[in-house]
Chain A
Amino acid sequence: MNQMTPPAQPDPALPPAVSVRGLRKRYGKLEVLKGINFDAHRGEVVSILGSSGSGKSTLLRCINMLEIPEAGTVTVDGTEIALVTRRDGGRRPADPRAMDQLRARIGMVFQDFNLWSHKTVLGNVIEAPTHVQKRPRAECIAEARALLDKVGIADKADQYPSRLSGGQQQRAAIARALAMNPAVMLFDEPTSALDPELVGEVLRVIRALAEEGRTMLIVTHEVSFARDISDTVVFMNDGVIEESGPPEEVFAAGNNTRLARFVEG
């Protein structure tokens, strides 16, 4: 990293960066989230583990309302995302503009990168700062270059995503999310689509962000990485949080057989 900041400690005195209460989500008959409660404090790194289909991605997508939960509340940085009930029983955001503003404060990094294919790496990073936050272009470009340098792909700024390796694309996607200076970063299996030899470069960037004291929720299958960098580990199973706490407690032997089986792979 360019500037070394002392590792920040999560601060439970402040209101949580993310607070989820009674969250429920179903797809048709399938209930994917069955009442989720948790808080992520400022500066806290939360890893979310769980078997495939346990609802981890759905949980992240509900936090920034890419999926609208049927019940429950999500509060980000003190602002609750207001939902109103539609006539057909589903819910929708009460104020779409407020939702956009809130989403702009939540950075999201996807499993398959999802960089915009018609823009260069630099174009990807400055897109939302210039058009959503409407900040001066020159300032955004300068910041974007610094971020690309930070994630180690400064030399790729003018390349198109299709010319980058998976690891480089994911680091560009991380820079794109950081450019909005989000209150919280959501990572959905950021290394799952990568060849094994490219995983390390992305994990290094995420680790550096953790050491900077950024608030992050990370869905991952990299158990030892999660154990290493997390303040809190959450284990999801079948739509509920089964275990949650500091890694050394959650991973303590004999604690939860399902978790033990998951850790062993």
Chain B
Amino acid sequence: MDFEFLSQTFVALLPGIPVTLELATLSLMLGAGLALAFAVVRVRRLRPLNWLVIGYVYVFRGTPLLVQLFIIYYGLAQFPEIRSSFAWTYLREPYWCALLALALNTAAYGSEILRGALLSVPRGQIMAAQACGMSGFLLFRRIVFPIALRQALPAYGNEFILMIKATSLASLVTLADVTGIAARIIAETYRPVEVFVAAGTIYLAISYGLILLVRVAETRLNPDRRDPAPVAGVGAARKEVTP
């Protein structure tokens, strides 16, 4: 393997990193917002929105992201209504199409993760909050959501990593992300192995950083699980003296 070429390629790919990171960050933020809204609709069974969300999740989980991306990128242009609308200033850009496809896709998966997490919040803890006079948004904000978030984080961390890798599809609609630049270098040099090894290394590094971040977040949100719990115990309790 030609290490000089490898390191040159590596340097050439660096400008793609901000594009990849930005695409991942924005689509995840947008997607998470949608996912939360969808999850609430599902858990509360708000009809008729509930049916729409069920259909939405079914379609976006049941089709490849690449197909979704192409439909948005090539398909939307065929509607004159869209071409003449304000949205077209964004939707004509490959960047916004990729962002939209990624966000809509992760929203479908994320909503299922959050729905499961919301349903897993122990009924008794909700009842205890209601018994204290909490209800509605206060109850959701202070009790239900924080507990659900702790439950969702491991699975959602997985979704983060999947999305980092999914951004590479954006190169197929001409975006100059890490993969996009890599494809261009391959076309110029015909040396796919070195180029993909360099690109793969970059994705690996980003994912590793993300794994660390998620782990930090998990530890912060679950201080009680930081180190192995002492056996919550009879022995410790017996020493207690009630005044």
Chain A residues at the B interface, C-beta cutoff of 8 Å: 1-2, 64, 66, 96, 100-104, 106-108, 110, 112, 114-118, 127-128, 131-132, 149-153, 159-168, 171, 173, 176, 180, 195, 197-198, 201, 204-205
Q: Are B135 and A127 in contact (CB under 8 A)?
A: no
Can you report 26 A-B residue pairs in the complex whose CB atoms are below 8 A from each other?
Answer: A2-B243, A103-B131, A107-B131, A108-B131, A114-B125, A116-B143, A116-B147, A117-B147, A117-B224, A118-B146, A118-B150, A131-B134, A131-B138, A152-B243, A162-B229, A162-B232, A163-B230, A165-B232, A165-B234, A165-B237, A166-B237, A180-B133, A195-B234, A197-B234, A197-B238, A201-B237
| A-B pairs, 5 with minimum CB distance | A104-B133, A160-B224, A165-B237, A128-B132, A114-B124
Interface residues on B, range: 35 or more
Q: Are B237 and A163 in contact (CB under 8 A)?
A: no
Q: Is the interface of B mostly helix, strand, loop or mixed?
A: helix
Q: Is B122 an interface residue (CB 8 A)?
A: yes
Q: Are B234 and A160 in contact (CB under 8 A)?
A: no
Q: Are A132 and B132 in contact (CB under 8 A)?
A: yes
Q: Is B80 an interface residue (CB 8 A)?
A: no
Q: Are A116 and B128 in contact (CB under 8 A)?
A: yes
A106 and B122 alpha carbons, distance in the complex (Å): 21
Q: Are B242 and A152 in contact (CB under 8 A)?
A: yes
In the complex, besides A1-B243, A110-B128, A162-B232, 9 extra interface pairs with C-beta distance below 8 angstroms are: A114-B124, A114-B125, A115-B125, A116-B128, A117-B224, A152-B241, A165-B236, A197-B234, A204-B242
Which residues of the other chain, A, contact B135 by a CB distance below 8 angstroms?
96, 100
A108 and B138 alpha carbons, distance in the complex (Å): 19
* CB-CB contacts below 8 Å: B104-137 with A: 122, 124-125, 127-136
Partner among A151, A160, A167, A180 whose Cβ is within 8 Å of the Cβ of B223: A160
Q: Is B142 an interface residue (CB 8 A)?
A: yes
Q: How far is the CB of B67 from chain A (nearest CB, A)?
A: 40
Q: Is B233 an interface residue (CB 8 A)?
A: yes
Q: Are A110 and B124 in contact (CB under 8 A)?
A: yes
Q: Are B243 and A150 in contact (CB under 8 A)?
A: yes
A176 and B124 alpha carbons, distance in the complex (Å): 15
A100 and B132 alpha carbons, distance in the complex (Å): 8
Q: How far is the CB of A126 from chain B (nearest CB, A)?
A: 11
Q: Are B133 and A162 in contact (CB under 8 A)?
A: no
Which residues of the other chain, A, contact B240 by a CB distance below 8 angstroms?
152-153, 167-168, 201
Q: Are A198 and B234 in contact (CB under 8 A)?
A: yes
Q: Are B242 and A112 in contact (CB under 8 A)?
A: no
Q: Are A118 and B147 in contact (CB under 8 A)?
A: yes
Which residues of the other chain, A, contact B146 by a CB distance below 8 angstroms?
118
Which residues of the other chain, B, contact A163 by a CB distance below 8 angstroms?
224, 229-230, 232
Partner among A108, A149, A153 whose Cβ is within 8 Å of the Cβ of B128: A108
Q: How far is the CB of B30 from chain A (nearest CB, A)?
A: 26
A249 and B221 alpha carbons, distance in the complex (Å): 54
Q: Are B242 and A132 in contact (CB under 8 A)?
A: no
A176 and B221 alpha carbons, distance in the complex (Å): 22
Complex: chain A residue closest to B136, CB-CB: A96
Q: Are B234 and A205 in contact (CB under 8 A)?
A: no
A154 and B76 alpha carbons, distance in the complex (Å): 63
A32 and B100 alpha carbons, distance in the complex (Å): 53
A162 and B224 alpha carbons, distance in the complex (Å): 7
A118 and B147 alpha carbons, distance in the complex (Å): 6
Complex: chain B residue closest to A204, CB-CB: B242
Q: Given A103-B133, A152-B241: A114 and B234 within 8 A (CB)? A: no
Which residues of the other chain, B, contact A128 by a CB distance below 8 angstroms?
129, 132-134
Which residues of the other chain, A, contact B128 by a CB distance below 8 angstroms?
108, 110, 114-116, 173, 176
